[in-house]
Structure 1
Amino acid sequence: MRRLSSNTFGNSVIAAVTLVALACGAWLLRSGAATHAPPQPSAAEARGGPADPRSAPALPPSPPDRVRIPSIRVDAPLTGLGLTPTGSLDVPPAERENLAGWYEAGTTPGERGTAIVAGHVDNADGPSVFYRLGALKKGSTVEVDRRDGGTAVFSVDSVEVYDAKDFPDEKVYGAAKRPELRVITCGGSYSRATGYQGNVVVFAHLTDSR
């Protein structure tokens, strides 16, 4: 996870350049077993070719309550996340393994712009909500239940992994002309001393609502 500044660009958030600990590899560090490592996205799932032109009309702002990713068996409540006093994005409580968060000072999922959802890959006891995020495939569906009673349905454009030192801040957090979603957890290379050295990022855009 990246540190976020309070500056906005359109309906999106531009990230700063420092890393935020998101329980990156807590379970692996404790168990000492790299065989427990979560899946990482393959090169085939990276963005390639022209962007998918399909896009549903933007929805009015409404806080999200739940995220579902059926293909990797994610079905989790969402909690609002703010910024810490140092300007970093806060994180869900690590002990609640099936809880994700969204940046509530930014775009709401389904609204025009870039919405941010984040969650832990693991905690000290085992896998957490986005443990299988790196196994997600292009074309998969991400559904977000909204407080207005509707559901925003997103199609996955790519699943990518970045080292912290090469994290493309504007690509991930930059402004979007259509409703887009980023789902983020820890990933990349792993060190027993410090945990994961980067992030898995899912890029998706709104293709339906109900």
Structure 2
Amino acid sequence: MAESSRWSRVVIAGVITGAVLVAFDRGGENDAPVRSAVVPSRIDIPSLGIKAPLMKLGVVDGEVELPPYEEPDVAGWVKDSAVPGDEGSAVILGHVDTKTAPAVFYKLKTMREGQAIKVVRSDGKVAQYRVDSIEQVDKDEFPADRVYLENGLRLITCGGRFDWDKNEYDDNVIVYATLVKPAAPEA
């Protein structure tokens, strides 16, 4: 995935929208719950042969961090989204490629409805999801509400045509998945 400040702006807009709505729903900053210390540590997608470590991604200078290009086999969990296995929208980002090779989510666009995704958490539990749908959307039409406000796991990477003038892909590939097995100890 090429560096894309426009993509980052779209993602951060969704994170902010989701965070604002959650804050309003919970009654304000004084009533906000303490966030869990549990974090996702690995994503497994058996059908694609992926077992990738997860890093936390935050927001820096108004833009969502991306996993480092120097670590193409690492994906990142947006720490302001839900912890996979918990209620809410859990968002994981990964690069499709680097300047020289495929990256962790290179095959993401080949996922199919019904395939399994597992997320291993730092508490030793595993949340299992089933793919509901995959879509490729123009970055200017990014479905922020669907990505950040609906329950489930969202995997996001770049896709479509690479615009050499802008040095970025035109589209995003988004996988939507539903929790089918609540977080339970890894077998």
* Identical-pair percentage: 37
The equivalent of 2:30 in structure 1 is: none
Task: Give the distance between the partners of 1:10 and 1:67, measured in 2 at CA.
Answer: 25
The equivalent of 1:109 in structure 2 is: 84
| Alignment-mate amino acid for residue 73 of structure 1 | G
Q: Secondary structure at the match of 1:172?
A: helix
How does 1:56-205 map onto structure 2 within 5 Å?
62-85=38-61, 87-176=62-151, 180-193=152-165, 194-205=167-178
Q: Is the 8 A contact 2:11 2:144 kept in 1?
A: no
Give me the CA root mean square deviation.
1.7
Q: Is the 8 A contact 1:160 1:201 kept in 2?
A: yes
Gapped regions of structure 2 (runs ≥ 5): 1-6, 24-35
The equivalent of 2:31 in structure 1 is: none
Q: Is the 8 A contact 2:43 2:117 kept in 1?
A: yes
Q: CA deviation at 1:74?
A: 1.1
Gapped regions of structure 1 (runs ≥ 5): 12-59
| Alignment-mate amino acid for residue 75 of structure 1 | K
| Alignment-mate amino acid for residue 57 of structure 2 | L
The count of aligned residue pairs is 158
The equivalent of 2:12 in structure 1 is: 4
Q: Secondary structure at the match of 1:128?
A: coil
Residue deviations 1:139-189 (CA, integer Å, cap 9, x gap): 01110000111100000000100001221211121243xxx1100000123
Q: Secondary structure at the match of 1:4?
A: helix
* Greater fraction of residues in helix: 2
Task: Give the distance between the partners of 2:55 and 2:117, measured in 1 at CA.
Answer: 17
Q: Is the 8 A contact 1:68 1:143 kept in 2?
A: yes
Task: Give the distance between the partners of 1:139 and 1:112, measured in 2 at CA.
Answer: 20
What is the TM-score of this pair, normalised by structure 2?
A: 0.79
Considering Cα pairs closer than 8 Å and 6+ residues apart, tell me whether 1 or 2 has the greater RCO: 1
Task: Give the distance between the partners of 2:133 and 2:150, measured in 1 at CA.
Answer: 17
| Alignment-mate amino acid for residue 208 of structure 1 | K
Moved over 3 A (4+): none
Q: CA deviation at 1:105?
A: 2.2
Residue deviations 1:61-117 (CA, integer Å, cap 9, x gap): 7210000111111110000000011x2110111110110000112211111000100
| Alignment-mate amino acid for residue 80 of structure 2 | A
What is the TM-score of this pair, normalised by structure 1?
A: 0.70
